[in-house]
């Protein structure tokens, strides 16, 4: 892998950029691999990369039905934070943030991780109680998070309307300064490039159609639109499509797949310096390096694999945006789209072994898994390599749904994303 650098760009400029190599190859699938990862999203690619870099397992195929990074990774609003309530979550997301901090250098790919701060607004007494509970738990878990007054919030985010006369005045906010955003595409591409360089096969346009198992029930491989590919270890990292894939192996999942929409405005000069989210009025917003306001909407109320949803969901969010930031009412929506989010009953992910020998699953990230990408890939690689969960994902099991040991970020009134 030839190194990326300002110097390399200058050198290539001199020969009109003829010298760049492919960032990843498009190999024909081999007949078998040590590990198959299903799904070339951020989490799948990261898993493959850490299998290679941490565990020395490079005979790995990542199978992708479409184009790599084209799932939720390629359509998310890229909010990164770790101020979750429960110890398990804090452990997972904090682990991820640590990895984010060095990721561009580690991958030699600028993922534009920008710690501009994530501010979560409170609008009523209950919001404040919930925020305080998070703040105290975060502090004792070593997670950065602090309380700011409406005035401090305004200073941190000038477009914010803190007038007392609005319908739901801002009563303060929880601010995680280490939180921020990253460039979604770059994350997928960076992992793909480095993983490919270490020998991982990324096979696109290759849809897994069924999962093969021997008489003992153990996994032996998968049938794809590009033929049968064997492996004793298969990791499913298919987000919205997890139920479909696990079904192929006879495992039923506690998941539902909903459309989640987002939209961007036309690009403007820097106006919005951070990330702001509000659970009570349902909106979250940031400004990308290209200048668009990136705005996340909610899920539609029915399950769907269509990557589209109703306009009323997006407008509901824009109402909240214009209420909190009245100066944006004359901005224009440039494009809207949807993804398919896999939602668990307790809104926490599943990263675990399954009842089927050799089958591993990483799913249930729902509306908020982009932030976890490096951490998730890192511990999932560990789980596959050692057939044993890492202590960070030990709690994110499938069993919790029959013993009831849920990690209920939803019930604890945590917010999405």
Ligand X SMILES: Cc1cc2nc3c(=O)[nH]c(=O)nc-3n(C[C@H](O)[C@H](O)[C@H](O)COP(=O)(O)OP(=O)(O)OC[C@H]3O[C@@H](n4cnc5c(N)ncnc54)[C@H](O)[C@@H]3O)c2cc1C
Ligand Y SMILES: Cc1cc2nc3c(=O)[nH]c(=O)nc-3n(C[C@H](O)[C@H](O)[C@H](O)COP(=O)(O)O)c2cc1C
Token digits of residue 338: 């949807």
User: Which has the closest alpha carbon to 360: 249, 262, 244?
Assistant: 249
Report the relative pairing of strands 219-224 and 118-122 from DSSP bridges. unpaired
Q: Which does 153 bind (CB under 5 to 8 A by kind): other proteins, ligand X, ligand Y, none?
A: none
Token digits of residue 405: 């040991």
Which of residues 220, 226, 228, 345 is near other proteins by CB under 8 A? 345
Q: Which does 294 bind (CB under 5 to 8 A by kind): ligand X, ligand Y, other proteins, none?
A: ligand Y
Give yes or no for a contact between 351 and 89, defined as CB atoms under 8 angstroms apart. Answer: no
Q: Which of residues 300-329 bind ligand Y (CB under 6 A)?
A: 307
| Distance between CA atoms of residues 83 and 146, nearest Å | 10
Residue 345 neighbours by CB distance under 10 Å: 15
147 binds ligand Y, rule: CB under 6 A? no
User: Which has the closest alpha carbon to 195: 351, 374, 358?
Assistant: 374
State the nearest-atom distance from the C-beta of 92 to ligand X, in Å.
12
State the nearest-atom distance from the C-beta of 385 to other proteins, in Å.
26
Q: Which does 71 bind (CB under 5 to 8 A by kind): ligand X, ligand Y, other proteins, none?
A: ligand X
397 binds ligand Y, rule: CB under 6 A? no
State the nearest-atom distance from the C-beta of 70 to ligand Y, in Å.
7
| Distance between CA atoms of residues 174 and 177, nearest Å | 10
Which residue number, 215 or 252, has a Cβ lying nearer to other proteins? 252
Which of residues 1, 27, 30, 140 is near other proteins by CB under 8 A? 140
For the window 172-191, what string marks contact with ligand Y as x by the rule CB under 6 A? Answer: ------------x-------
For the window 264-283, what string marks contact with ligand Y as x by the rule CB under 6 A? Answer: x-------------------
Token digits of residue 201: 């096969």
Compute and round to an integer the Cα radius of gyration of the chain: 21
| Distance between CA atoms of residues 349 and 344, nearest Å | 7
Which of residues 149, 151, 327, 388 is near other proteins by CB under 8 A? 327
Token digits of residue 374: 């490096």
5 binds other proteins, rule: CB under 8 A? yes
- Which residue number has the CB closest to ligand Y? 337
Which of residues 292, 300, 342, 346 is near ligand Y by CB under 6 A? 292
Q: How would DSSP label each residue in 169-238?
A: ---EEEEETT-EE--HHHHHHHHHHHHHHTT-EEE-S--EEEEEE-TTS-EEEEEETTEEEE-SEEEE--
| Distance between CA atoms of residues 417 and 405, nearest Å | 22
Which of residues 223, 333, 357, 394 is near other proteins by CB under 8 A? 333
Phi, psi of 333 (to 5 degrees): -75, 125
For the window 196-225, what string marks contact with other proteins as x by the rule CB under 8 A? Answer: --------xx-x-----------------x
Q: Which stretches of the chain bind ligand X, using CB under 6 A?
A: 38-44, 63-66, 70-73, 75-79, 207-208, 237-239, 241, 245, 260-262, 296, 339, 341, 365, 367-371, 417
Which residue number, 57 or 84, has a Cβ lying nearer to other proteins? 84
| Distance between CA atoms of residues 159 and 271, nearest Å | 8
State the nearest-atom distance from the C-beta of 387 to other proteins, in Å.
24
Binding region for ligand Y (CB under 6 A): 74-78, 184, 264, 288, 290, 292, 294, 307, 334-335, 337
């Amino acid at each position: 892998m030839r190194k990326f650098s300002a110097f390399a760009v200058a050198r290539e400029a001199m020969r009109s950029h003829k010298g760049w190599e492919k960032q990843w190859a498009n190999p024909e699938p081999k007949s078998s691999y040590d590990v198959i990862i299903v799904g070339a999203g951020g989490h799948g690619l990261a898993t493959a990369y850490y299998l290679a870099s941490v565990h020395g397992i490079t005979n790995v195929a990542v199978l992708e039905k479409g184009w790599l990074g084209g799932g939720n990774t390629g359509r998310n609003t890229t909010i990164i934070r770790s101020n979750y309530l429960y110890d398990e979550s804090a452990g997972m997301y904090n682990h991820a943030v640590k990895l984010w901090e060095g990721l561009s250098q580690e991958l030699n790919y600028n993922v534009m991780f920008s710690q501009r701060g994530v501010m979560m607004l409170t609008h009523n007494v209950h919001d404040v109680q919930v925020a305080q509970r998070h703040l105290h738990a975060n502090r004792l878990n070593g997670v950065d998070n602090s309380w700011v007054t409406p005035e401090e919030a305004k200073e941190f985010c000038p477009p914010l309307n803190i007038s007392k006369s609005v319908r739901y005045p801002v009563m303060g906010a929880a601010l995680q300064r280490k939180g921020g955003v990253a460039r979604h595409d770059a994350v997928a591409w960076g992992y793909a490039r480095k993983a490919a360089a270490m020998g991982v096969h990324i096979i696109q346009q290759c849809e897994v159609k069924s999962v093969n198992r021997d008489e003992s029930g153990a996994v032996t491989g998968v049938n794809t639109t590009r033929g049968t590919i064997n492996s004793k270890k298969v990791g499913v990292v298919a987000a919205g499509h997890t139920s479909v894939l696990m079904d192929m192996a006879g495992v039923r999942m506690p998941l539902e797949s909903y459309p989640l929409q987002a939209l961007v405005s036309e690009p403007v000069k820097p106006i919005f310096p951070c990330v702001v989210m509000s659970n009570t009025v349902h909106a979250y917003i940031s400004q990308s390096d290209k200048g668009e306001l990136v705005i996340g909407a909610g899920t539609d109320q029915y399950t769907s694999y269509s990557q589209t949803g109703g306009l009323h969901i997006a407008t509901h969010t824009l109402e909240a945006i214009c209420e909190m930031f009245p100066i944006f009412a004359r901005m224009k929506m440039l494009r809207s789209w949807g993804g398919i989010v896999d939602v668990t009953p307790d809104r926490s992910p599943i990263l675990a072994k399954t009842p089927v020998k050799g089958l591993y699953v990483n799913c249930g990230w729902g509306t908020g898994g982009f932030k976890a990408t490096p951490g998730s890939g890192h511990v999932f690689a560990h789980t596959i390599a050692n057939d044993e969960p890492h202590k960070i994902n030990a709690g994110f099991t499938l069993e919790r749904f029959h013993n009831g040991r849920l990690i209920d970020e939803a019930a604890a009134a945590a917010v999405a994303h």
